[in-house]
Amino acid sequence: MKFGTKAIHAGIKPDPSTGAIMTPIFQTSTYVQKSPGDHKGFEYSRTQNPTRQVLERNLAALENGNHGLCFGSGMAAIDCILKLLKPGDEVISTNDLYGGTYRIFTKVFSKYGIKFHFVNMEDSTQVESLINKNTKLIWAETPTNPMMNIIDIRALGKISKKYGVLLGVDNTFATPFLQNPLDDGADIVMHSVTKYLAGHSDVVMGAIVVKEDKLAEELAFMQNSCGAVPGPQDCFLVLRGIKTLHLRMERHSQNGKTIAAYLKNHPKVDKVYWPGFEDHPNHSIARRQMRDFGGMISFTLINNRLEDAIKVLEKFKVFVLAESLGGVESLCGHPASMTHASIPREEREKVGLSDSLIRLSVGIEDAEDLKKDISKALEAV
């Protein structure tokens, strides 16, 4: 199937008992058994739930994987991946990444003897130089959050296979519509389903997709044992959201291109970070591994002052100042004080994340209205 058809149909069948075309919300904690151990494939909803199972199969199909697992949040999904490791293991991570990921790496799992290295993965040789016998996981975001750097998944995949190291990719910004990391050599794909997959700012959820059976078994054991699973109501909402993912991502990308070009030509804007520009450092890699460039954009103002960035953020009307991204509505954010506040300033500044950086999640509204909103907001400085 092509992507749009998979989004609507893959892993989904009409309910056999009623013919309902939408997967029912199986709002139950437990399931009746005919005899001890003799059941219909479901025992307890932490372990399996029919609504969740359909969503997991749908997500696996969208990422060209074999197994999908859903969690109560994106961080719960990352937590599950990190529980594959043991004390003494090492992780090589991109140095530009979501603040919550940095926090769980450095403030939670580092306490248990796991060592994390943060490097600029735009240059894959930096990754290979750090690999040793203790390295067990390479962790990448691409595009990165919030600097919109592009990492060559295929190059990392070759390195991970060469040394027998797992490669995990946070595919939240791109979504499976724009990019499929498993096809380029990743072992694990993670999503904050909260964002583009759900798409309507009404769900918090995470997901993992893998191809390899044994890896899926290990992750599923952890999912069940630790219990950070989503409820059936949220799974239903995500299944509904995914049915329009391809349409939404086309519009997000179209609007993203329009807004990025508008910002780049605005006299009050200094730098614009968006991988669709031909002068983006890794634009050629983005063109190869992505189908389009999405709706996430970061930018700085010409004078690079924090107080001016705050004035602009406060003056937006259509772009709403809020955490998160990927909803149908446009959002604006201040990474240094919001999504990336848990990263020390000196570490943020190493990757170019200044206190004046503004991040936009460009929604699916009319692009002319978005441009007018930006124009009015920039009048504040």
What are the backbone dihedrals phi and psi of residue 300, each rounded to the nearest 5 degrees, phi first? -120, 160
Q: Kindly report the number of other CB atoms within 10 A of residue 60's CB atom.
A: 25
In this structure, are strands 90-94 and 331-333 parallel, antiparallel, or unpaired? unpaired
CA distances, 31 to each of 28, 34, 166, 320, 351 (Å): 8, 10, 36, 43, 51
CB 264 within 8 A of CB 152: no
- CA 303 vs. chain centroid, Å, equals 31
3-state secondary structure of 191: strand
Return the active site residues.
46, 98, 170, 195
User: Which two three-digit tokens encode residue 184?
Assistant: 């380029």
211-234: burial string, b at 16+ Cβ within 10 Å, e else: beeebbebbbebbeeeebbbbbeb
3-state secondary structure of 190: strand
